[in-house]
Structure 1
Amino acid sequence: MAIPVETFFLDPASLGTLQARIQQMIAGGILSGRFRRGEKLPSTRKLASHLGISRITVTLAYTELLANDYLAAKGRSGYFVSENAPEPPPSAAVPSRGDTVDWTRAIGQRFTGGSTPVKPQDWASFRYPFIYGQADPTLFDHANWRLCALQALGARDFTALTTDYYDQDDPKLVEFIARHTLPRRGIVARPSEILVTLGAQNALWLTAQVLLTQRRLAAIEDPCYHALRDILTQSRCRLAPVAVDADGLPPDAIPDGTDVIFTTPSHQCPTSATMPMARRTALLDRARDLDAIIVEDDYEFEMSYLSPPSPALKSLDGEGRVIYVGSFSKSLFPGLRLGYLVGSEAFIREARALRASVLRHPPGHIQRTAAYFLSLGHYDAQIRRMARTLAERRRVLEDAIQSQGLTIAGRGTFGGSSIWMRAPDGVDTGQVALDLRGAGVLIEPGAPFFADPVPAAPFYRLAYSSIPAARIGEGVRLVAKALQNATRH
């Protein structure tokens, strides 16, 4: 690869002759890692013209760098960074230019320090990744996704590819969501009541920004999706964690004065509890009494392979009180970052305006690719394939858990892709998770899911969407061994 001449600048503060300064500039680029072995440098004529200096000066600098083995000359091809050039140290980075700003005073609002844990980027290198929310490449339909992407990039779809929709979305994707996805959850919605988002988390953020202020009270499940708690904390609203039970969020425990209720009724996160129909009706009644809005996160309804899922809370709503959050991340792949909001037009109008001020809309070619993949039947075929595989993995996992004498704290009635576990009292599963990494095992400790992390230490989550069935038994054995060791200590 050629290094663009535009990246070369002489530091006006550097000392020495022009020739020495050019040598320092190039050697510094190599030592910092900006210029890499085998990359081609600009010709002496082009660099001299760019810097406004004599060509002979550049030639002499290159000659000196050749002698020191920083550069190599290849016949008439030009000059390249030598294969024998010094390797930059692992910590090499762009040198600091200095920073005199007092950022503790300049930053008006902080977004760091939340409870959302950082998952290892190299999770796929672990032999036993009981990690939630990652895609299994063996289950994804690469071939048909590629064909749909090529179709979306074709001349016939040039408008969808290049148009700035401003605050609108690809009509083909919106139509599919309205006519095919939502009816499966018993929901009827017009296009004006649907907004495409960059995943469910973006949908939750938009919802929090539109509905909440510092004076309003939001009720959240405890434990709950940790990123939701971070979002609500950043919104500066008042928070009321409500402890869930075996049936999910108990309506009677929602405090008076609540303005917005966040819930995962079909598949509570992380306990996997499913809210019974009677409680769903009671929750709607409680919201009506409070004149509150309900935000229903239906993040994993496609993973209902054991039995058909219960109707969505939104499908039971006759007052427009429920805002529905859906996502394609779990059923396609998380990097797609496509989700959607469904709600009354007045709410969607404001959410659409907010989204437009931040990112306009999700990229048109991504929306159109997804629309083709969905409408051509590839999505349904993938869901069926995933359902068969996840059902088998769940069976193997449950057998392994039973054989190792581990304790299940919650599992989805209709399916899902994880099981909520309880360790013996006094065991810090955060430390157990760290210990297990050395054995190639990834588990998710429970503490980040709770508003108060102290009682959460005995819990952890085992997900099975990204681990082959053949490795589950040995992985669970290692988990059981680590828990036994932690109990002894």
Structure 2
Amino acid sequence: MIPAEAFFLTPGFNGTLQQEIQQMVAEGILRGRFRAGEKLPSSRRLARHLGVSRITVTLAYTELVSSDYLAARGRSGYYVSDTAPQPTLYPADEAPRRDGVDWDRWTGRRFSRHPVATKPQDWHSYPYPFIYGQADAALFDHQNWRQCALRALGRRDFEVLTDDFYERDDPMLIEYIVRNILPRRGIAARPEEVLLTMGAQNALWIAAEVLAGPGERVAIENPCYAGLRAILGQLGAEIHAVEVDEEGLPPAALPDGVRAVFTTASHHCPTNATMPVERRAALLARAADEDFIVVEDDYEFEMSFLKPAAPALKSLDREGRVVYVGSFSKSLFPGLRLGYLVASEGFIREARALRAAMLRHPPGHIQRTVAYFLSLGHYDALINRLNQAYKRRRTVMDDAIRAEGLEIAGQGAFGGSSFWMRAPEGVDTDRLAADLRGQGVLIEPGRVFFAPGAGPSNHYRLAYSSIAQTRIPEGIALIAAALRRAGPNAPR
């Protein structure tokens, strides 16, 4: 008989007590500690040992019976099933190991040498996390998301859940994007012109792979999203960084002979500047005259609470020269990893083939869950709630920033979820971030957004999507105090 003392609860387990008991039993069987035919402790005895209710243990045992880990034998109790999963176990090789391969030589560090923004995994534990791109659990619609996920798991949607779509996507989700999401940006597209991706990052990678090979001349904004620069650097493209101003990317400053231009026209990353219509028309005219493609990353268009966002650059495109990148990861939650590309059918054909060679398609269950969440109106209700909350947080942060005498370097006209900041000359925000982290404050140093070796060191980004409104003023006060310590030109 397996003694009750073989089981113990682990503090911080991510799940219910019933799930933890199920996991303990299953792991014991899978690791060979509990063998076929051995009797489990009675539900009463195990409940008394663990300090939980007897019904919790009974429900756990019942689930394990349905999964064939356990077998119930009348009044005799529960036993390890004779047909329980039994993976093959090999004896561990205890001989010392060493890595005898010079991986830097083999790989050339083609991918890891390009700098990207790093953020602490435990950011939730910090009291003042001004971290961009993270979700606030207090604002998310957990109940309706759970219901949509359960509906997508139902028998009616079994084929969507289990089938390999090959290179295709869920037609229900594609239809909703074409009929409801894209028209909000002034974009008309057919289903054949839309491809789902694993987030905007994956969409940018696919677009870059299709458009820009080794030695190809491409133009990006400076500063810009660091992940895009890393992608293009990994491809070996010839990158030209074009300085932005208060109106975003100036088309007249583009170098000659570019094959593709990457821009965040509606909401520049990271300054939040918006490219005016005149510049957009000029960019498209130059693209037509010089025969290049424009990749538009419209990553945060839903966060428009100060005034309606301008139509997308893609909406002005009459020649099919704009490849549009959208994302649900910013408006729902970053762990979703679901985005989309919108472009002419010829581009989408190549992008679809490239995606199929790498990952086929995003998981069917995720696609159908999002389709239900959108079509049932939960998405729009969530966006409305987020915009109201972000508007309040932005007002509080704006007031706190001005009260502390901090300098805003880029003021977005439509909303978004962050401020682009400038520290006094001589302040290194990498060191500032390290100092603040010890005080429970997380900021994003700005150096990584600039072209390597050419950018200032005194910029930083403050986001308000992941921090509670009540904590914003105190967090800003701590930043101001750290800046006062950092140099003589800091705010007093």
Report the TM-score range of the alignment, normalised by the length of the smaller protein.
0.7 to 0.9
Matches within 5 A, 1:239-278: 239-278=239-278
Following superposition, the deviation at residue 214 of structure 1 comes to 1.5
1:402 partner letter: R
Matches within 5 A, 1:210-221: 210-221=210-221
Deviations along 1:303-335, whole A, 9 cap, x unmatched? 001111101000000000000000001100000
2:302 partner letter: E
Q: Partner residue of 1:345?
A: 345
Q: Partner residue of 1:435?
A: 435
2:384 partner letter: R
Deviations along 1:179-204, whole A, 9 cap, x unmatched? 00000000000000000000000000
CA distance in 2, matches of 1:43, 1:410: 60
Structure 2 SS opposite 1:349: helix
Q: Does 1:449 align with 2:449?
A: yes
Following superposition, the deviation at residue 211 of structure 1 comes to 0.5
Q: Percent identity?
A: 62
2:182 partner letter: L
CA distance in 2, matches of 1:269, 1:322: 18
Q: Partner residue of 2:382?
A: 382
1:224 partner letter: C
> Is the 2:217–2:257 Cα contact (8 Å) retained in structure 1?
yes
Deviations along 1:276-315, whole A, 9 cap, x unmatched? 1111111111212221100000000000011111010000
CA distance in 2, matches of 1:107, 1:394: 44
1:176 partner letter: Y
> Is the 2:28–2:34 Cα contact (8 Å) retained in structure 1?
no
Q: Partner residue of 2:65?
A: none
1:443 partner letter: I
TM-score of the superposed pair, with normalisation by structure 1 = 0.81
Q: Partner residue of 2:422?
A: 422
CA distance in 2, matches of 1:99, 1:410: 47
Task: Label 1:364 to 1:278 Cα distance change in 2 as closer, same or farther (>3 A).
Answer: same
Q: Partner residue of 1:175?
A: 175
> Is the 1:130–1:463 Cα contact (8 Å) retained in structure 2?
yes
1:252 partner letter: A
CA distance in 2, matches of 1:322, 1:430: 36
> Mean Cα displacement is larger for which, 208-217 or 439-448?
208-217
Q: Partner residue of 1:90?
A: none
Q: Does 1:42 align with 2:32?
A: yes
Q: Partner residue of 2:463?
A: 463
Q: Partner residue of 1:69?
A: none
Q: Partner residue of 1:23?
A: none
Following superposition, the deviation at residue 98 of structure 1 comes to 3.4
Structure 1 SS opposite 2:382: helix
Structure 1 SS opposite 2:99: coil
Following superposition, the deviation at residue 94 of structure 1 comes to 9.2
Task: Label 1:401 to 1:315 Cα distance change in 2 as closer, same or farther (>3 A).
Answer: same
Deviations along 1:445-471, whole A, 9 cap, x unmatched? 000000034532110001000111110
Q: Which runs of 5+ in 2 are unaligned?
A: 3-23, 37-77, 81-92
Q: Which runs of 5+ in 1 are unaligned?
A: 3-34, 47-75, 79-92
2:376 partner letter: L
Structure 2 SS opposite 1:325: strand
1:157 partner letter: D
> Is the 1:447–1:454 Cα contact (8 Å) retained in structure 2?
no
CA distance in 2, matches of 1:44, 1:395: 59
> Is the 1:447–1:453 Cα contact (8 Å) retained in structure 2?
no
Q: Partner residue of 1:18?
A: none
CA distance in 2, matches of 1:156, 1:44: 38
Deviations along 1:399-439, whole A, 9 cap, x unmatched? 00010000000021010000100000010001000100111
Q: Does 1:283 align with 2:273?
A: no
Task: Label 1:45 to 1:342 Cα distance change in 2 as closer, same or farther (>3 A).
Answer: closer
Deviations along 1:200-235, whole A, 9 cap, x unmatched? 000000001011112311100000000000000001
Aligned pairs, number: 414
1:346 partner letter: G
Following superposition, the deviation at residue 108 of structure 1 comes to 5.6
Matches within 5 A, 1:320-359: 320-359=320-359
